[in-house]
Structure 1
Amino acid sequence: MLTPSAHTDTFCRDNLPPATDWPEFVFDLPGLHYPDRLNCATALLDSTVATYGREQPCLYTAEETWTYGDLLDRANQIAHVLTGDYGLVPGNRVLLRAPNSAWLIACWFGVVKAGGVVVTTMPLLRAPELTKLIELTRPVLALCDSRLLDELSTADPALPVVPVGGPTTDDLTARAATKPASFTDVETAADDVVLLAPTSGTTGVPKATMHFHRDVLANADTFSEHVVAPRRDDVFIGTPPLAFTFGLGGLMVFPFRVGASVVLPEKTDPDTLVDAIEKFAVTMLFTAPTTYKALLKRDDLGRVKSLRRCVSAGEHLPEVVYTNFHERTGLRIINGIGGTELLHVFISAADDDIRPGSTGRVVPGYRAEIQDEQGHPVPDGTPGLLAVKGPTGCRYLADPRQRDYVRNGWNMTGDSYTRDADGYFWYHSRSDDMIVSAGYNIGAPEVEAVLDQHPDVVESGVIGIPDADRGMIVHAAIVLRPGVLPDPDKARELQGFFKATAAPYKYPRSIEFVDSLPRNPSGKVQRFKIRDRWSGTR
């Protein structure tokens, strides 16, 4: 039963899936019982300032350092801009578009303090992708880095956009500077939606996961508290965008829950990352296996000696990467599996509990089992489908795919796993058409939809293929129109077309030209046959 909402704009409540389609939520830990009225911005920012003081270091960038007091003041000023200048009311959605930065975090808190709902977007998204998300989530306003305005204005010219970080007088930073530094946070309900987090759909149509104020805190009070175990004196850094829930947790929610600080480099290449770790004496690293592989190729890993915790998620961590990194640095990488539908990691292990090659055991506060296709639990040692439940879970915004993800109260993650007799979970593969490349989730149909827009492409079929550095890469089998030469130049042209049309991280790094695509009697593309054919040519 939902508690009375504080939202004047009822869009989110109106578009929650029916309660009968929700997963079962369990609150096994005492720390997961939150008051009925809860604003997670108040809990993560105002309460932290009250506990540790305004002068506690909070955010480090290449240009400046913000204390918790600085962030609180700017978040409050932004809340005044939103409510006073733009008439934001509780429940309105606000789209955020920016690289990781102090001002992006201030915007996030400003929206939430005002009772708004944050719609997080990747800065790499192109106009067609943004258009779909805008149509799905219906934001009333967008806060956009001044360098990223073009794609957003193309996506929806009617959407009001406030630039952030530019020199104009209408810039959010200029507007905020004129506002009071105190604000009374809206007393939202613990089960009011605070976040619409988009995730790629295997049908090519995006989904938005709906998360409550209590959900944001629950991930800090499960995985972070019981596995990562951060301290106030920790300094966090990471590569995932804050638009990813992996980044939102590791680079904002988890450190802020304990009063720690965060380094926010805009670039996250290995050189920049190592420089920042050394400069700021970083102790906590959140990134994907791809980055750990890249770091292992360096001969200066002694520069990251300040690290005490390394967390990996987004894709499977190979045992050899864990072992080599441990031998080179003495650090044990905390592996984990999470998902946008559940916000963050729900299976993991740290320190002496780690078994290299395994994802780990169930995070305190969650439950997991391996099921067969009919939804029955299978014996330990038997491969099957990973099913999870806990204090967070899947609620898709007005989407019939809710019934595909939730089965008999369990969240079905789309991963094939085995559990051993000691409760450790061992990854096998994705069980759907999702490609996980360098920590990015890429739906095969969404890649096909972009490629098929090219005038020379008759049709395409996309799969993921193994890659030593990225775990998997996107491979496209493409049928060209008659008379078009299937050569390397055409492959490069199609890759360039894709990068100009959609987020570049999704582009097919491998292309083969074929006469036709394999289909079943009903006409559906049989991607497994594309995969088999690719394997047979290796």
Structure 2
Amino acid sequence: MPWTVMPSFETHEQAREEFAWDLPDEFNPAVDFLQKQDNPDRIALEQAYPDGRRESYSYRDLDRRSDRLARGLADLGIEAGDRVGVVVPQKPQNPITHLANWKLGAVSIPLTVLFGEDALRYRLDDAGASAVVVDPSVREEIDAVRDDCPALEHVVEIETDDPAGDVRAFEDVLAGEDGDDVGFEPYDATPDTHTAIMYTSGSTGPPKGVLHSHALWLGRAAAAYNYFDQGLGPDATVWTPADWAWGAALGGTLFATWHHGGTIVGYPARGFDADDAFSLLEEYDVTQSFMPPTALRMLMDVDDPTDEYDLAVETFAAAGEPMTPEIVEWVETAFADVAVNEFYGQTELNLAVGNSSTWFETQPGSMGKPLPGYDLAILDPEAADAGDVERLDAGETGEIALRPYDRSVFFDEYWNMPAKTAAKRVGDWFLTGDLAERDEDGYVWFKSRKDDVIITAGYRVGPMEVEEAILEHPAVAQAGVVGVPDETRGEIIKAFVEPTEAPRETDDLRAEIRDLVRDNLAEYEYPREIEFVDELPQTTTGKIRRLELRERENE
């Protein structure tokens, strides 16, 4: 079996020198998370709901339930290598489906319930999903796109007794009865067995499917152990408000916690409320929390939280967007002996840079230093584009490049995109598309994206996908989308819209455009600002010049 507890290193230098991946020859994450525990009756999942319901699941419960689902999916014809979508929020059926997939040898497609019809249609069709497990909140969208996904044979809906049509109820798919030990021989997997296709937005094309193997989860577990200040283990209780569809929440929080034998808290909220968050932290004695910077800024609105709530938090970990110095200062002022550690990674490249207050002093605004298991270089962007590795000196701004000690912990390929896969690498280095500089002490300081991807409240949004959604409105002739600075969300999405004719009621048209994007893409992808223009700047080939739009915004 692979390691359960990471070795504790006293210094960053020691960790960098002595850490080795030592991946096992055989590895199935469902077996690792559920079947290696010394006490399988220990609570793995504390499930809370906004209506006040509470449930608890032991490691044994999750093992048996995922066995039952694996056998039920096998009876439907799902086999090793098949792709199965998971469109479920923070509810038990989300991880149970992933675990069942891996017991079968199937590949998971994590998807958020925030997606609309266009976003779901593209991803399910592109991945060739054979089945999808869905929350009732997205049933209508799934019904609308199903005919456009020819490989999609089975839709399984949770929390329903009468799903109607040829959709199956989740409980009906489970083999055996509740509490039965039906037994299921897990797929004979290795760290290089395909595990998931995760979609990431791009700036110049459709979303890219990032194909990972099982080693992904070991990479996330190792990183989480470090950015949670070596505080993961059987005594840890962990919660994040981030959607379990995203890599840092799914792998770097949920499955990392189970790999190390701790307890995860689930709560399917639609939106973030600071008082609800503090109440959950208190109720479950949460010790470690992955809290995106936008959520931390919203927590700052609560006065004297330690007077109002009895908290057990030891570490806040943050990622997805740059963390501003005032967040670090607030945590230091508002809490006693609570660390706040930023970490950085990509859907493709795992979580490879971070702060760890047990190793070195946190520099507010800094991304931290490379975590054990990875090398980091700042490369000349033009040379990298030409396929050359030209490392820059401290203080010079360039592109972040990462090199893993073991290739398996990074992605395998972009699904059906060999050219983009090749462009991600220069020699042994993987390019991030993020610009930064490294100081004389080894700290990395983020500067900007190299491309046009917008980072809003931790979500990465490709402007082209938003522009295409806006263009579906009959009153829109052209659209250009950029990110503009925002104190709470880091960036917000702004759309410059060229209407087909002068709109009579601009507020009405703005509302229609926002609703259109929300319905077709995702709730977080709609433009919060819309400016109508007579003409958009274009290149000679007719492409929107987003750089000019950003410069216009900054004038």
Fold similarity call, TM over 0.5 = yes
The reply to whether residue 168 of structure 1 matches residue 149 of structure 2 is no
8 A contact 1:204–1:444 mirrored in 2: no
| 1:503 match | 522
Task: Report how far residue 346 of structure 1 moved.
Answer: 3.3
**1:442-461 CA distance string (max 9 Å, x none):** 01111101001100000011
The reply to whether residue 135 of structure 1 matches residue 125 of structure 2 is yes
| 2:415 match | 397
| 1:12 match | none
**1:188-218 CA distance string (max 9 Å, x none):** 1321111111111212401111111122112
| 2:362 match | 354
Residues 463 and 42 of structure 1: CA distance in aligned 2, closer, same or farther (over 3 Å) = same
Moved more, 222-231 or 137-146: 222-231
In structure 1, distance between residues paired with 2:543 and 2:222: 44
| 1:72 match | 63
The reply to whether residue 319 of structure 1 matches residue 328 of structure 2 is no
Q: Output the amino acid matched with 2:410.
A: G
| 1:243 match | 245
| 2:387 match | none
8 A contact 1:245–1:344 mirrored in 2: no
Q: Output the amino acid matched with 1:354.
A: T
8 A contact 2:113–2:137 mirrored in 1: no
Q: What secondary structure is seen at the aligned counterpart in 1 of 2:184?
A: coil
The reply to whether residue 274 of structure 1 matches residue 278 of structure 2 is yes
| 1:13 match | none
Q: Output the amino acid matched with 2:445.
A: W
Residues 153 and 363 of structure 1: CA distance in aligned 2, closer, same or farther (over 3 Å) = same
The reply to whether residue 377 of structure 1 matches residue 391 of structure 2 is yes
Residues 173 and 225 of structure 1: CA distance in aligned 2, closer, same or farther (over 3 Å) = farther
Q: Output the amino acid matched with 2:519.
A: A
| 1:407 match | 426
| 1:533 match | 552
Task: Report how far residue 401 of structure 1 moved.
Answer: 1.6
| 1:233 match | 235
In structure 2, distance between residues paired with 1:402 and 1:427: 24
Task: Report how far residue 340 of structure 1 moved.
Answer: 0.4
Moved more, 129-138 or 177-186: 177-186
Q: Output the amino acid matched with 1:57.
A: I
Task: Report how far residue 397 of structure 1 moved.
Answer: 1.1
In structure 2, distance between residues paired with 1:204 and 1:455: 22
Q: Output the amino acid matched with 1:277.
A: L
8 A contact 2:34–2:40 mirrored in 1: no
In structure 1, distance between residues paired with 2:122 and 2:18: 38
Task: Report how far residue 484 of structure 1 moved.
Answer: 2.3
8 A contact 1:480–1:513 mirrored in 2: yes
**1:225-279 CA distance string (max 9 Å, x none):** 5754112111100011111001112332211111100111111432321111111
Counting only pairs closer than 5 Å after superposition, residues 424-463 of structure 1 correspond to structure 2 as 424-463=443-482
Q: What secondary structure is seen at the aligned counterpart in 2 of 1:32?
A: coil
| 2:24 match | 35
Counting only pairs closer than 5 Å after superposition, residues 62-211 of structure 1 correspond to structure 2 as 62=48, 63-83=54-74, 85-157=75-147, 159=152, 160-168=154-162, 170-176=168-174, 178=176, 180-181=180-181, 182-211=183-212
Task: Report how far residue 377 of structure 1 moved.
Answer: 0.5
Counting only pairs closer than 5 Å after superposition, residues 509-520 of structure 1 correspond to structure 2 as 509-520=528-539
Task: Report how far residue 221 of structure 1 moved.
Answer: 2.4
Task: Report how far residue 411 of structure 1 moved.
Answer: 1.6
Moved more, 251-260 or 464-473: 251-260
Moved more, 440-449 or 527-536: 527-536
The reply to whether residue 522 of structure 1 matches residue 524 of structure 2 is no
Q: What secondary structure is seen at the aligned counterpart in 1 of 2:534?
A: coil
Moved more, 495-504 or 94-103: 495-504
What percent of counterpart residues are identical?
27
Q: Output the amino acid matched with 2:303.
A: D
Task: Report how far residue 490 of structure 1 moved.
Answer: 2.1
| 2:350 match | 343
Q: What secondary structure is seen at the aligned counterpart in 1 of 2:524?
A: helix
Counting only pairs closer than 5 Å after superposition, residues 412-423 of structure 1 correspond to structure 2 as 412-423=431-442
Task: Report how far residue 148 of structure 1 moved.
Answer: 2.2
8 A contact 1:476–1:508 mirrored in 2: yes
Task: Report how far residue 31 of structure 1 moved.
Answer: 4.9
8 A contact 2:193–2:213 mirrored in 1: yes
Q: Pairwise CA RMSD of aligned residues?
A: 1.9
8 A contact 1:222–1:363 mirrored in 2: yes
Counting only pairs closer than 5 Å after superposition, residues 52-63 of structure 1 correspond to structure 2 as 53-62=39-48, 63=54
Q: What secondary structure is seen at the aligned counterpart in 1 of 2:348?
A: helix
Q: Output the amino acid matched with 2:170.
A: L
Q: Output the amino acid matched with 1:320.
A: E
Q: Output the amino acid matched with 2:532.
A: F
In structure 1, distance between residues paired with 2:203 and 2:355: 26
The gaps in structure 2 that reach 5 residues or longer are: 1-15, 49-53, 385-389
Counting only pairs closer than 5 Å after superposition, residues 465-484 of structure 1 correspond to structure 2 as 465-484=484-503
Give the structure-2-normalised TM-score.
0.87
Task: Report how far residue 509 of structure 1 moved.
Answer: 0.3
8 A contact 2:304–2:334 mirrored in 1: no
Task: Report how far residue 28 of structure 1 moved.
Answer: 8.1
The gaps in structure 1 that reach 5 residues or longer are: 1-26
| 2:300 match | 296
Q: What secondary structure is seen at the aligned counterpart in 2 of 1:494?
A: helix
In structure 1, distance between residues paired with 2:185 and 2:162: 28
Q: What secondary structure is seen at the aligned counterpart in 2 of 1:344?
A: strand
Task: Report how far residue 47 of structure 1 moved.
Answer: 1.4
Residues 71 and 29 of structure 1: CA distance in aligned 2, closer, same or farther (over 3 Å) = farther
